[in-house]
Copies of this chain bind each other. A is one copy, B any other.
Amino acid sequence: MDAMDWALLRELQADARLSYSELSRRVHLSPPAVAERVRRLEENGVVTGYHAHVDLARTGRDVIALVTMSCYGATCLLLDEAVPGWPEVMEIYRVTGDACSVLRVATASMEAFETVIDRLGKYGQPSSTMVLSTPLPWQPVLPLP
């Protein structure tokens, strides 16, 4: 992970669709050398994927919430392989504290959100905090000073 790798990460985090030749211009390296370095960043698991980001509101997901689950024991949500497949569940974090996990949930309506909460109730006690807006939806990973 030298300065060149960080330069490539910076560019690919900002725009994952940049061509190798455009990348090569920006970091001052030949296209094959860029391709080789990017391949290694992928192989070493530094880059975990390239994803288009989608505006939730513009795709009909008007209700977004952070749901804190308290469900220690055999019924814990984290033990069920199926939950990460629910399309309303965008992220799951296992956390310290009174709760066991935090989920980011996005549904089309409050009614749809209610049925997700009902389904989550099988695993433990859900506690919901509604997201009003997202002042910072995403920030690239940069080298820390």
Contact check: which of B16, B50, B87, B135 meets A142 at CB < 8 Å? B87
Asked if B46 and A92 sit within 8 Å, CB to CB, the answer is no
Contact check: which of B49, B90, B108, B144 meets A15 at CB < 8 Å? B49
Asked if B54 and A87 sit within 8 Å, CB to CB, the answer is no
Query: Would you call A32 an interface residue if the criterion is a C-beta within 8 Å of the partner chain's C-beta atoms?
Result: no
How extensive is the interface on chain A, given as a class?
A: 35 or more
Asked if B45 and A92 sit within 8 Å, CB to CB, the answer is no
A-B contact pairs, 18 of them (CB 8 A): A9-B52, A13-B54, A46-B58, A46-B59, A47-B54, A49-B53, A49-B138, A51-B51, A56-B141, A59-B143, A78-B135, A84-B139, A89-B139, A91-B134, A91-B137, A94-B133, A97-B130, A106-B141
| Residues of chain A having any CB pair with chain B under 8 Å | 1, 9, 12-17, 44-56, 58-61, 66, 78, 84, 87-97, 99, 101-102, 106-108, 112, 129-145
